[in-house]
Amino acid sequence: MSASILLVEDEPGIAEVLCDLLRAEGHEVSWAADGNQGLSLATAGTFDLLVLDVMLPGKSGYDICRGVREAGFDGGILMLTARGQVDDRVQGLRTGADDYLVKPFDPDELLARIDALLRRLRKTELTPVMTIRFGAISADFSKGEFLKDGQPLPLSAKEAELLRLLVNHRGQVVTRETILSQIWKDQPFITPRTVDVHIAWLRQKIGDQGHIVTVRGEGYRFEV
C-alpha cells in the first residue's frame, strides 16, 4: 500500500533512517527539516500522509497540523514526539492529528500505524453523489434542483454547496475550517460563525431530523 508521505523531522540522523525505512516499504517520501519548510511543502503538495515531529525549529508540529487542516488537507497526520503526557497527546489530536507515537518507538510499530492509518483513510474514501434522498428531501446537485415533500425547496448557492459538501463526506466530521476553505475560499472577514449561521438556515429549510449532526468543538457530520 504505497503512499506519498511528507516527513517533517529536524534531526538528520532520525530523518535519514525513517526515510530509508519508508522508501523500503514502497512509499514516496519527501523530507523537511524545520516547521516553516514543512508547512510550505505540506500546503503546496499532494501528500497522502504527513509524519510530523512536534518539537521543530520555526513552527511546531502542532502549528503545521492546524495549518494544513485549515487549508483543507484531508489526508492522514501522524505525530512523533518525545513527549508522553496525556495533555500533549490531546493537543495533537485536537489540532487535527489522526494518531500519535511517542519516541523512542519500534520501527515496526511506526510502519504498522502508517499502514493502519492508510487503510482507514482509503476505506473511508467516498464517491461524490449527484443525487440523494433523505427524509422528505430530494436533491439533484447536477441540476441544482431541491425538493421537499415533492415541492421546490429554495436553497441559496452557499446552502446548496454546504449541503453537497456534507453529503459527499457523509459519516465523516467536516471541520468549520474545511467548510470555510472549500465554500468561502478563505474570503476576508468570513469567520467560523458564518458556517454556524448557514448550518442553522439549512437545517431550518430542510426540516432537519438529525441528518446534520453537530460535533462539539470540531464541526458537522451528515448522517443518512
Q: How many CB atoms lie within 10 A of CB 57?
A: 12
Amino acid (1-letter code) at residue 160 = A
What pLDDT is attached to residue 89? 64
Tens digit of each residue's pLDDT (9 = 90 or more) over 60-92: 999 999 898 888 788 889 998 876 665 666 776
What's the helix, strand, coil split of the chain in %, to 5?
Answer: 40, 20, 35
User: Which pLDDT band holds residue 202 (cuts at 50, 70, 90)?
Assistant: very high
104: buried, middle or exposed (CB in 10 Å: 19+, 13-18, 0-12)? exposed
Q: Is the pLDDT of residue 164 over 60?
A: yes
Output the average pLDDT for the chain: 87
Domains in the chain with CATH codes:
4-123 (3.40.50.2300), 131-222 (1.10.10.10)
Of 19, 27, 23, the closest CA to residue 47 belongs to: 27
Query: Looking up cell 441544482, which residue turns up?
Result: 144
Instruction: Please give the average per-residue pLDDT across 17-25, as a whole number.
Output: 93
* Residues in contact with 39: Cβ distance below 8 Å, sequence separation at least 6, in sequence order: 59, 63, 64, 67, 68
Give the full edge-to-edge strand order of the sheet including 131-134. 131-134, 137-140, 145-148, 151-152
Which pLDDT score is estimated for 117? 86
Long-range contacts of 195-204 (CB under 8 A, 24+ apart): 195/162, 195/219, 198/158, 198/159, 198/162, 199/162, 201/156, 201/159, 202/155, 202/159, 202/162, 202/163
For residue 104, whether the previous peptide bond is cis, meaning omega lies within 30 degrees of 0, is yes
98 versus 50: the higher-pLDDT residue is 50
Three-state DSSP class for residue 132:
strand
